[in-house]
Structure 1
Amino acid sequence: MSQYRLSNIEVGKNYLAKELDSFVSTTDVVVLSNNESQLFTDPERQYKVTGAFDGFFEHSSNDGEKYFREKKAYIVEKV
């Protein structure tokens, strides 16, 4: 799968699931998909990157606090 290795993805562009799989495997990111848990089940399915954020808030179940995580997050939708 090394031929699909991406170092960056861009909002507005389409990518195959196998390309996103490689990107997620080699990059510290979060990917949110409207295809729920089936994002990587069909390697040839196309997804469009519809949004990107530099971080997000996460609730800690340990202390009940909310923390901002500086971690790139992408929103993808199946095409």
Structure 2
Amino acid sequence: MTQHRLSEVEIGKNYKAKELDSFVSTTDVVVLSNNEEQLFTDPDREYKVVTAFAGFFEHSSEVGEKYYREKKAYVVEKI
């Protein structure tokens, strides 16, 4: 099987799940998908990168505080 290694993705472009899998595996990012936990269940299903954020807020249940994480986050949509 061919390796699909991506080091970046572009907003507005479509990618197969196997390409996004490679991207997540080799890059420190968060990917949010509109089809929940099924993002990587079908390697050939295509997704469109809708938007990207430089970071996000995360709540720590241990200390009850919210922290801004500087970690690239992408929103993808099943097409």
Secondary structure, in 3 states, of the residue corresponding to 1:6? coil
Q: Which residue of 2 aligns with 1:68?
A: 68
1: CA distance, partners of 2:55 / 2:2 = 27
Q: TM-score, normalised by structure 1?
A: 0.96
Distance 1:2 1:22 in 2: 11
Equivalences for residues 9-28 of structure 1 within 5 A = 9-28=9-28
* 2:53 is aligned with 1:53: yes
Percent identity, aligned pairs only, is 78
Deviation at 1:3, TM superposition (A): 3.0
What residue ranges of structure 1 are gaps of 5+ in the alignment? none
Tell me the distance in 1 between the aligned counterparts of 2:18 and 2:3: 10
Post-superposition, which runs of at least 4 consecutive aligned residues in structure 1 deviate over 4 A?
Answer: none
Structure 2: runs of 5 or more not aligned: none
SS at match of 2:62: coil
Name the count of aligned residue pairs.
79
User: CA RMSD for the aligned pairs?
Assistant: 1.0
Q: Distance in 2 between matches of 1:76 and 1:20?
A: 10
CA–CA distance in structure 2, aligned partners of residues 16 and 35 of structure 1: 14
**Compared CA separation, residues 2 and 72, structure 1 to 2 (3 A):** farther
CA distance in 2, matches of 1:37, 1:6: 21
* Change in 2 beyond 3 A, CA 1:2/1:55: farther
- How much does 1:2 deviate? 6.2
